A and B are shown apart, each in its own frame.
Chain A
Amino acid sequence: MKRIYYTVLLLIVSFIFFADIMAQEKQTLTGQVITEEGPALGANVTIRGTAIGTITDVNGNYSLQVEAGDTIVISYIGYRSEEVPYTNQEIYNLTLIPDVTELEQVVVVGYGEVKKKDLTGAISVIRGDKLETREAASVQEVLQGQLAGVQVMSRGGQPGAEATILVRGISTINDNNPLYIVDGSPLEDIEFLNPKDIESVQVLKDASASAIYGSKASNGVIIIETKRAKTGAVIINFDASVGQESVSRKPEVADAHEYTRIANLAAENSGQAPIYPDPDIFGAGTDWWDEVMQNGLVQNYNLSLSKGTEDFKVTTGVNYFNQEGILEGGGYERYNFKLNTEFQLTPKIKIGENITIARSTTTNGPNVVWDAQLIEPITSVYRPEYEQEGLNEYSIYSPTTTDVGNPVAQIARNFYTTDYFRVVGNAYLEWDIAAGLKFKSQYNIYLSNWEQNWFGPDYFIEQTDKRDVNSVSRAHNNRINNIWENYLTYHKDLGKHSITALAGMSMESRLHKTLYGEGEDTPNNSSSLRFLSATTGSWQSVTWNGSSVQPSNEESTLLSYFGRLNYSFSGRYILAASLRADGSSKFPENNRWGIFPAVSGAWVISEESFMESQDWLNQLKIRAGWGQVGNQFFEDVNARYSRMGIYYTTMGANQDVVIGAAPSSIGNSLLKWETVEDINLGLDFSALNNKLVYSLDLYQRKSKDMILWTSVPGYMGFGYTQQLTNIGELAAKGYEMMFKYRDAVGEFRYELGFNLSSAKTRIEKLVHGESVTDGNHQRLDMLTTTMEGETAGTFYGYVTDGIFQNLTEINSHSDEQGNLLQAQAEPGDFRFLDINNDGILNDNDKRVIGNPEPDFTYGINGYMSYKGIDLSLLFTGSYGNDVLNAIKPYSATGEGYYNSEKGLLERGWNGENSTNTQPVIKAVDQNQNFRYSDYYIEDGSYIRLKNVQLAYNFPERILAPIKIKKAKIYISAENVYTFTPFSGLDPDMGGRPTVRGIDWGHYPLPKRFTIGLKLTL
């Protein structure tokens, strides 16, 4: 660790040293700067990396003192900046090229490209250079806060964790993962991708844009292009960064002194004898949080090479990423290699390939975030030394007085890793058949080999925390997906008319195989014997039909035909229509095919003649689109079959095992496509030489025939077996906007961006009107209810109405006949509302007490640069969502068993009017104060300074002599500070639609400080 810091430091020092010895003599350079429209008045002419500069006069003329090795930078708003090395010339004239603004940028839209100004659908775009400032392991993470309509929620800070990504909120209560298209390959998994390789990201948000991907597009489509070689000499890029992660918010828990006094108070208030007669003998006790947390190292090294000629282009690179994490015992490591090549075989035919090979290893450390907060601080980490004698290394830890296992011991005996090996890529052929007519054939593969190894050593801590016999297991999970796509595109301009047509087909097969085995009793716990082959005991896992291994085979296919037509008149009226037909083997024969149409149009008002005089305006466009997309993202490829399962039983005088059979699943022979239909209205606006860009989208969406796992009537006799069924509708309404302003004042350039997304969803219909409960909590039971008229996964529980301050209040909380609603209550207990006024406090008095869906999420970013110094800032935030603090049923009750929040001793009710929010501390909760109620619901809004990066670009006059094209050093900080009313560790948490916004003790996001270097040779 230290060594790496030194190396980086050394490099920086040597650059500065070089800078000093390069000083030379000055000469005068003059010239004229013109544009298509004449001389440029007020263009900046500066020497790069210095404060020296001038501006052009009314004729575009300038004069500047320069010296050999300087680079002249000429910039003018609305035009592309030019950099020219000074090579002793006396005059330098320049014609500026209009800046290819965002409007002219090409956007990849699926089987083709469109200029941004011609888009008709709702598409967000971000360029790789905006993402480069981030030091993160996953692509999802770097997208947070960057794009309107894209909501990213952390899945926790454990090494290797990917974030949850939602395009326009949830579109189904199943899987909401978007489809990714990486260099043309459709994928669901992009963990193999190095975020630094990204050239651009485009998000197809509405159905009119995404319908070309038909049945895979219901959750939006994220198209990622990676960096490709351009024509020119070899370019070598080297990036290195090293950082440290640390806990961003340490939970405040009671120390041993407070813990024992809370336990005593709880006992006293319940009429019991004090548990710790002399609490003063306890000091601080064990700080379990500190025992399990660490400062973790993050390293990221990246080397890439590219070279291009007219006929041949190649890009290759390797990347290594390593993250230790802040919780001991975990870790993540990834290597990847990529190679892209392209050959122009003949003037008409081009072939190429993209391939990435990635290997990652995750050490799945136990998540002891809760355990470290709940374990009693009076216990020490290890047994006293005299007790350790004769125990193995996993047994030397102290037993606990609670059912929380000793967290340090949990980490020590954890041998659990996941290895992933992926090969992802494609090979393609492009043929220019005739003018405007092109054919492309692309074959995509995705191979993954997932392997999980677990070993549990034998140990004994106490009767309830032991493993008598060691055991070992291994699981394999292999996927092979092949997609072959063929399509023709035709483009023709006829005067003011422009037509692009696309027709194609695709064939996809997916094979998924798993194998699991488990055995026990290896001769000892040594690392050489943590393998299945070393087991001597009987096979333990026989739940799979008596076989000692669990296998599965799943294969599915998808056949698709698609077409699209784009028409533009004079760049003013734009129309697009697409159609895709998908046939999937997952559905019964009669319901196999789904047809997914879409149309959209745009009117570019700024192109109209009556707008001609509005020079300040660059573009004003309104868009409208309608489309349908589908969803077939359910894993069970055999959902239509009722399987026969094997059930063993005993029979006969000798009590022999006999084989029985019975249906084990209920097939649905009526299963059909889930469809999502939406309407989108959009506005794009850019003005002031494209310095100001604004866009707004409004949409309404309806998901029909949502495919849900649903309960069948119990009397059908399938127990809890569920069936995939098509009943369920979800509606969504939302808007998103993006605002960007950029300008330059002399050499000071800046850009400010803001984006905001709102998606409000509502369940319109569920099977039999049945609510779906989810999120089983040990103490609170089911935390969420998904029901008609609400969003998915609302919090549903009792409603508190303050605390009974005295007996009179308890006695007046009664029905009309004077029967007490809470007969067991005592002063200091919660008063719960009898919502339905039936005089009984029971389950019928539960109601929606919280909504996990934010009103909106947003991102704010800023970039500034001045003379080689770049500063970037990113804020992300969420507003209006509720979160459920699920640790409080343990940590806030003060029942004297688990450890409590710090200060609970003082906060609990202790006499009339002492508090109206925190009940009396008691060992026996007869009033069930801590039942599931709004007590646990908190405001989850937050704004977080997600990233700050400060970079210094070394001036070319230093770099040129040492043959370095560019060099940059930077420091970067992630998750710097969070403003939130939430009392838990981190309000940013993902989840699935029916269980979200619940703090289950998820691994909090760490702070991360990184120092890095980037060199281009």
Chain B
Amino acid sequence: MKAKGIYFIILFTLLLAYSCEDFLDKPIQGFQVSENYFATEEECQRAVFGCYESLSPDDWWQLDFFWMVGDVCSDEAFKGNSIEGDQRDFGNLANFNIHSNNEWVEFKWLYTYATISRCNLVIDKVPDSPSSEENIKRFVAEAKFLRAFAYFELVKNFGGVPIILNEISAGDPVVKRSTEEEVFAQIEKDLEEASRALPLKSEQAAEELGRATKGAAHAFLAKAYVYQEKWSEAQIYSDSVIISGEYNLNDAFGDVWSVNNPNGNGSIFEIQHSFDDIYYVGTAVPVLSRSRADGGWGFGTPSSYLENAMEGDPRLSWTIIKEGDYVDADHPSYNTQLTENESGRINRKYYLNYTDRPSKDEHLRSGLNHILFRYADLLLLHAEITYHNGRESESLLALNQVRTRVALSPENAGGISLLKAIHKERQLELAMEGHRYYDLTRTGRLTEVIQDFFDYNQNRSTDPYDAGHNKGTLFRPGVHELFPIPASEIALSEYQIQQNFGY
């Protein structure tokens, strides 16, 4: 018996000693990992589409909503939805009650960097992939274009930001903010490099329409130089876009934002959206901005101040829908839900009529492409560029092209009144498209405009809907030209990332 016991102990010890390491190796079940992705050309292509996808992530809140900030942080529009607790932080932005924990500022920061990180991965990994040489160049160029676009968004909203150009991990040292100049230099470098490998719009196959083009890269280069007031560099690229002949103003103004005219004649770059029964590949913007009485959420409502500025302008009816307006047969007298609307108006540009609305989940599925850059924008920038370069006749030519489309008489002012005319034209042509706030800040006019807007609302307005609005009370000149760096990011950097002035 004793012997048996000893044998057993030996056997048992062997069992203990038996290295069961295999037992601890569990294979991955049901997903791919990024380490060994980019193993085929198709995977590379998908990663590039993943970069485009990041411009409008699947839900409404990550980035779609922020496109309205360019309107609501200016004289053009209000928060809109007057229910205080409904997106309170969006109201805080619109009323310049801005703190570093504002969620919308945080979303913009986080999801713009998501574009950057996806592009960085493509730029890092695609060159070593088994893709064709041509496609490698093309994929990398598209990623650089999108990365530059993302940094442009960041520099417009936050000033100098941390520049990340490669894949990084959480344990890496904190990346501090670069200066605005450094960010712009990176944008220029990426766009310049991208433009060399990108095709012209006319060279794109039908299924490629919507992807980055040489024209788009040059247009953004022109804009990047405009933001830095480097007028001569800017003109190289605005000239290039115009001379290319790729774009025109042949679409009627009312069709520019039509859901039935995606990537139209004047389209330089837009986010692609469509309605699909299965996939959430649409945008939220039409629902976010529509009247609450019409199934919308009622945000970003145009001001009477903007309407007054557009008085007599043929673009007005394509820009603003006012309480009681005839819109279409289904909406003969439009209800803007006055009890929950700060201004009795809504944005026409994002409006979809009944037949164009998705049957469900509109806030994830609306099929309206979101135009980020169109030819009229480029022409008006060109007008501004050439004005600053002392070429007023060229400037007038560009300006009047825009006016002619909507049958307005040509402008022939000169000197400072020409510049004012160009600014005014930008205001009217691009109203409610998310540009106004940035145009005001880059030209140093934000304070003056907000003060006049405040004075109008408080003292001069007789508008039945928005007279007396106190927007602007909390505006702080010299501070609100930029948004705060999100408090969370500063904390995560252990305070090595510095806050913007005044926050």
Interface residues of A, Cβ cutoff 8 Å to B: 433-434, 437, 439, 469, 486, 488, 503-505, 507, 538-539, 542-543, 546, 551-557, 559, 561, 583-585, 592, 637-638, 641-644, 647-663, 666-668, 670, 711-720, 723, 725, 768-771, 778-779, 842-843
CB < 8 Å neighbour of A585 from B26, B110, B114, B161: B26
Closest-by-CB residue of A relative to B170 is A712
B13 to nearest A CB, angstroms? 8
Cβ–Cβ contact A584 & B24, under 8 A: yes
Cβ–Cβ contact A555 & B33, under 8 A: no
CB < 8 Å neighbour of B207 from A652, A670, A712: A652
CA distance A720 to B59 in the complex (A): 13
B287 to nearest A CB, angstroms? 15
Name the interface residues of B266-324: CB closer than 8 Å to any CB of A. 272-274, 276-282
Residues in B neighbouring A659, C-beta threshold 8 A: 46, 49
CB < 8 Å neighbour of B114 from A469, A651, A717: A717
Cβ–Cβ contact A559 & B206, under 8 A: no
Closest-by-CB residue of A relative to B122 is A662
B154 to nearest A CB, angstroms? 9
- With known contacts A486-B15, A542-B280, A557–B28 Cβ distance under 8 A: no
Closest-by-CB residue of B relative to A558 is B24
Cβ–Cβ contact A503 & B99, under 8 A: no
CA distance A26 to B186 in the complex (A): 110
Closest-by-CB residue of A relative to B161 is A715
What are 22 A-B contacts defined by CB distance under 8 Å?
A434-B2, A434-B5, A437-B5, A505-B16, A554-B29, A557-B23, A592-B24, A638-B31, A651-B207, A651-B272, A652-B208, A652-B210, A652-B272, A653-B262, A657-B279, A658-B49, A659-B49, A660-B50, A663-B121, A718-B114, A843-B99, A843-B101
User: Does chain A have a CB within 8 A of B355?
Assistant: no
CA distance A539 to B279 in the complex (A): 11
CA distance A635 to B50 in the complex (A): 28
B112 to nearest A CB, angstroms? 9
Known: A546-B279, A660-B50, A663-B121. 6 other contacts (CB 8 A): A543-B58, A546-B278, A652-B206, A668-B170, A714-B486, A718-B114
Name the interface residues of B27-60: CB closer than 8 Å to any CB of A. 28-35, 37, 43, 46-54, 56-58
CA distance A650 to B175 in the complex (A): 34
Cβ–Cβ contact B99 & A649, under 8 A: no
Per-position binary interface string of chain B over residues 126-162, scored 1 when its CB falls under 8 Å from any chain A CB and 0 otherwise: 0000000000000000000000000000000000011
Cβ–Cβ contact A715 & B175, under 8 A: yes
- With known contacts A439-B8, A583-B24, A843-B101, A660–B114 Cβ distance under 8 A: no
Cβ–Cβ contact B278 & A542, under 8 A: yes
Cβ–Cβ contact B30 & A641, under 8 A: no
Residues in A neighbouring B15, C-beta threshold 8 A: 486, 505
CB < 8 Å neighbour of A488 from B12, B174, B209, B489: B12
Interface residues of B, Cβ cutoff 8 Å to A: 1-2, 4-5, 8-9, 12, 15-16, 20-21, 23-26, 28-35, 37, 43, 46-54, 56-58, 62, 85, 99, 101, 106, 109-111, 113-118, 120-121, 161-162, 164, 168-171, 174-175, 206-211, 262-263, 272-274, 276-282, 360, 367, 486, 488-489, 491-494
Residues in B neighbouring A539, C-beta threshold 8 A: 278
The 3 tightest CB contacts between A and B, nearest first, are: A717-B117, A660-B49, A662-B50
CA distance A712 to B492 in the complex (A): 7
CA distance A382 to B182 in the complex (A): 66
A250 to nearest B CB, angstroms? 29
Cβ–Cβ contact B47 & A661, under 8 A: yes
Residues in A neighbouring B488, C-beta threshold 8 A: 711, 714
CA distance A642 to B282 in the complex (A): 27
Closest-by-CB residue of B relative to A487 is B12
Cβ–Cβ contact A644 & B272, under 8 A: no
Cβ–Cβ contact A713 & B493, under 8 A: yes
Cβ–Cβ contact A648 & B280, under 8 A: yes
Residues in A neighbouring B31, C-beta threshold 8 A: 638, 641, 643-644
CB < 8 Å neighbour of B281 from A507, A642, A649: A649
Residues in B neighbouring A842, C-beta threshold 8 A: 99
- With known contacts A584-B24, A653-B209, A719–B62 Cβ distance under 8 A: yes
Cβ–Cβ contact A656 & B170, under 8 A: no
Cβ–Cβ contact B34 & A644, under 8 A: yes
Cβ–Cβ contact B5 & A433, under 8 A: yes
Closest-by-CB residue of A relative to B35 is A642
Residues in B neighbouring A769, C-beta threshold 8 A: 491, 494
B276 to nearest A CB, angstroms? 5
Cβ–Cβ contact A648 & B279, under 8 A: yes
B146 to nearest A CB, angstroms? 12
Closest-by-CB residue of A relative to B206 is A653
Closest-by-CB residue of B relative to A667 is B33
CA distance A585 to B1 in the complex (A): 40
Cβ–Cβ contact B24 & A433, under 8 A: no
CA distance A653 to B263 in the complex (A): 8
Cβ–Cβ contact B114 & A719, under 8 A: yes
CA distance A585 to B16 in the complex (A): 18
Residues in A neighbouring B209, C-beta threshold 8 A: 651-653
CA distance A723 to B492 in the complex (A): 13
Residues in B neighbouring A713, C-beta threshold 8 A: 170, 174-175, 489, 492-493
Cβ–Cβ contact B85 & A778, under 8 A: yes
Cβ–Cβ contact A662 & B53, under 8 A: yes
- With known contacts A439-B12, A663-B34, A715-B175, A720–B50 Cβ distance under 8 A: no
